[in-house]
Structure formats: structure tokens, C-alpha cells
Amino acid sequence: MIDNKTIESLKLALEASPSNIPLHIHIADLYCQREEFDHAETLLRNALKFEPDHKEVKLQLSKVYGREGKFSIALVLIEELLEADKNNAQFLEQYASLLAKTGQSKEAIKVQEEIKRKGLNEEDSSVDFLNRAIDVVEGRERILEDTNIEEGSLDIEPIQSDTDFSDVGGMEKVKDEIRIKIILPLTNQDLYKAYGKKAGGGILLYGPPGCGKTFLAKATAGEVKAQFMSVGLNDILNMWIGQSEERLHNTFEMARKQTPSVLFFDEVDALGAKRSDMRQSSGRHLINQFLSELDGVDTDNEGVLVLAATNAPWHLDTAFRRPGRFDRIIFVPPPDETARTQILKLMTKEMPQDKLDLIKVARKCDGFSGADLKAVVDIAVEDLLRTSIKSGKVEPITTKHLLKASKQVPPSTKEWFATARNHAIYANEAGLYDDVLSYLNIKR
């Protein structure tokens, strides 16, 4: 649970920079997790004074009003947002949720189908909506019929990972940390046992989006030649209540039977973030189930390595970080120059090219995530296509194209650090975010 200290310190930060909108949103989110919606409302309304048309603030405020039962004002806000952007999955989702809550289940399902039809954010949308809709639409059969979602259609197949550390460019510090914290204990189990230490347990990778967490997890499995099982928690949460626990248990059992194995929970913050949305008790159940699987209460997790990745470690229940659970935490920073060069190389390797100096491009892309680099390449390619169509021949991609494109893409990791920084400075219990501080060159 988010403690008072965290909130108080973030509020102090807000006093220092009262127009910091992301911070308003973030604190409001924490209040929502504690179900203190009135506080969240006050914060968000205050944020709107600074930026009356801020979309994210309006969306969050609509959600808060929804939770407070102030449905008509919640609907007004969401309708305003949809007027400006009728294809936004989050807006549509919220709209569907409000319709469902106000007894307009047919309309809600229509909007839900629209989200699906347009292929907007498929994974996420059904989760929230269904969880909320369960509360209001008559019974589960009814929803099943209407939305045609199969029960329990989730299968997690163990795979042999086809990447290892040689595919991961740069990131030497992270690789070393993974070697020491993960690989050595697993490959020298006897030695560790002699010192009374067990191989296995949980490791949490955190860092800004698009910077290689998922990629590293898979490469780690390849490195130890373990079976790799990737579990999207959103998939598990998507299950019917009660079934998700069973699924989670089966997944762990499967990993226990195939040691050495790496069980990877991607986007583990879904548990924390979704919890406030879910009916309180069911969310709690799933978390408890997860914790007892991690502890290996009834069974033995030896040889099972549990990795998890998150962009928002501050959303995770502190219970996750107790010894034996996710007690080892690794910061995955934005790709360094070598990593950026490697990523660009992977992305351009099949293209016609001419004297491409990727190191030069990478040098200009400080602070860019993998996803940002993809945007750079995409923009350059579009440009190239345009000239190719004009000239009637296939133009090769050059350094110049990429450099020009890089100026059009703002590095997205800055935003993440703006939030992370607040936590690292004001809520750095047990030195949890020391790596973030040193990345930002902030002395403690």
C-alpha cells in the first residue's frame, strides 16, 4: 500500500513546482489506489486551473468522478474529450465504463466493440471494461454472450530463447549486474548452497519505457539456456475473477517442472495499477496468490528464476520487495551509445543503404529509447519513400536522412525521469532508486 510518507513527500515536491501537471496526475493516481477519491479530485481540478484542456488530467478526473458516483459530470468530461479525438482507446474505454455504470449496458458494449473493431489498444481495453461491467451488467453469462470473449483462452508456452547477451548492444553495467545477481547463482547452485543461499527468487527490472527490459529478460534466459516463459499480467488479469489465481498457479507449476526456467512477468505494475480499478477483494486475492507463489509456500521454487519488468516500480505493493520476493532490483537505463548504434543497426539492416554512419547518428540521439529510435527510422524511411517516388528509383538510406529525422523526435525518456526523479529524491526508501539518482548525477 502507498504510505503517507510517500504522498506527503510528493506533495512537498508539488509545492515547490505547483504547475507540474504530471506530478498532479501522479499523486492523484496514488490517492486513487488508496481509494481516496476526494483528494484525487481536488488535485486534478487544481491541475486543470493551470491547463484547462489537458487531456490526461480530464481523463483522470472523469475516472475519479466515476468512482465517486458523480456520473453526469464524468460523462460530460469524457464526451468533451471524445469530441476532440474520437479514436482514442482510453477515452472510449472510459466512456464504455461510464455507460455501463449508468445502466446503459447495450451502448457500453457497442463502444467496446468499436474499440475492438478499430483495433485500438486491444489488450488493455477489455480488462478494465469487463471488470467494471461485472459490477453493473446483470451476470457474467450475459457479458460472455454479448462480447464473445472466450473464457480462459490463455496458453503460455515455454520457449527456448533465441537471443542472448551477444544480441544486446552496450548496456554493460546492466549485463554485469544480471550476471552477478542472476546468472552466477543459477550456474553455481552448489557453491551458493554451500553458503546457505538458494538459487532462484525474484528480480525486478525497472526503467523508462522502450529501453530494453523485455529484450534483456529474454536474452537472460538465452544466456542461462533456461526455458523462457513470458507472462503478460494483463492476460492473467483478463481472466475471470477466480480463474486468474488458478492460471497464475498453473503457470508457476509449469515453470517448476522445467527447471532451470525463467518465468518473466512483463508489466508487473499492471497489478498495482489495475488494483484500484478492480473490485477491491479480487485484486487483493490475486496479489496474495502471486506473493505466495513467489514464496513457494507449498512447493519449491528452486531453479525457477522469476523476472519481472515495470516502468512504474512505485506502483508496486511494497510487499513485493520483501526478502525472497523481488528483493533484487535492477535499473535499466536508456540505451547508451553502443546500444543505440546496435538498435539502429538492427532496424536498418534490411534496407538499401549508402555509407551509413550509425555511430554518428547514435551520438546525436542521447536520451532516446528503442521506441524513439524506431520513430527516427520510420520518419527517415517515409522521407526516402517520397524522394524515391519522385525520382522513380530506390533511394538508399543515408546518415543525413537519419540525422534529419532525429531532430523531429523528442527523446521520450525525459518524461519518465521527471516522475522517477521525484520518487528518487523524496521517496527513496532503502536506496531503492539510487541508480536513478546517479544516472541523473544527483548527489545524496
Output the smallest distance, CB 365 to ligand ATP, in A.
Answer: 13
Hey, what's the cell of 146?
A: 454479448
Contact call for residues 99 and 111 (beta carbons, < 8 A): yes
Q: Does 377 bind ligand ATP (CB under 6 A)?
A: no
Per CB under 6 A, the segment of 19-27, 46-54, 140-148, 165-173 that binds ligand ATP is: 165-173
Output the smallest distance, CB 214 to Mg ion, in A.
Answer: 3
| 437 Cβ contact list (under 8 Å, min separation 6) | 424, 425, 428, 443, 444
Radius of gyration of the chain from Cα atoms?
23
Within the chain, how many helices (H) and strands (E) appear? 23, 6
| 297 Cβ contact list (under 8 Å, min separation 6) | none
- Closest by CA to 304, choosing from 158, 97, 132, is 158
Output the smallest distance, CB 268 to Mg ion, in A.
Answer: 11
- Nearer of residues 149 and 359 to ligand ATP, judged by Cβ: 359
| 430 Cβ contact list (under 8 Å, min separation 6) | none
Report the residue closest to ligand ATP, judged by CB: 370
Residues counted in the chain? 444
Output the smallest distance, CB 346 to ligand ATP, in A.
Answer: 6
Q: Does 370 bind ligand ATP (CB under 6 A)?
A: yes
- Nearer of residues 294 and 339 to ligand ATP, judged by Cβ: 339
Mask for 324-353, x = binds ligand ATP (CB under 6 A): -----------x---x--xx--x-------
Contact call for residues 234 and 267 (beta carbons, < 8 A): yes
**Strands of the sheet with 261-266, listed across from one edge:** 159-160, 227-232, 261-266, 304-310, 201-206, 328-331
Q: Does 376 bind ligand ATP (CB under 6 A)?
A: no
Contact call for residues 168 and 212 (beta carbons, < 8 A): yes
- Nearer of residues 223 and 266 to Mg ion, judged by Cβ: 266
Measured torsion, CA atoms of residues 39, 45, 47, 50, in degrees rounded to the nearest 10: -150
Of residues 40-69, which lie at the interface with ligand ATP (CB under 6 A)?
none
Per CB under 5 A, the segment of 127-135, 214-222, 238-246, 313-321 that binds Mg ion is: 214-222
Q: Does 209 bind ligand ATP (CB under 6 A)?
A: yes
Per CB under 6 A, the segment of 109-117, 118-126, 164-172, 383-391 that binds ligand ATP is: 164-172
- Nearer of residues 245 and 269 to ligand ATP, judged by Cβ: 269
Q: Does 169 bind ligand ATP (CB under 6 A)?
A: yes
CA–CA gap between residue 35 and residue 27 (Å, rounded): 12
Task: Find which of ligand ATP, Mg ion, none residue 343 binds, CB within 5 to 8 Å per kind.
Answer: ligand ATP
Output the smallest distance, CB 162 to Mg ion, in A.
Answer: 17
Per CB under 5 A, the segment of 22-30, 112-120, 209-217, 397-405 that binds Mg ion is: 209-217
Strand, helix or coil for residue 366: coil
| 92 Cβ contact list (under 8 Å, min separation 6) | 82, 86, 111, 114, 115, 120, 125
Among 101, 213, 275, 423, binds ligand ATP (CB under 6 A): 213
Hey, what's the cell of 25?
A: 496526475
Q: Does 214 bind ligand ATP (CB under 6 A)?
A: yes
Among 88, 125, 131, 214, binds Mg ion (CB under 5 A): 214
Among 311, 341, 413, 422, binds ligand ATP (CB under 6 A): 311
Q: In the complex, which residues of this chain contact ligand ATP (CB under 6 A)?
A: 168-171, 209-215, 309, 311, 335, 339, 342-343, 346, 370
Q: In the complex, which residues of this chain contact Mg ion (CB under 5 A)?
A: 213-214
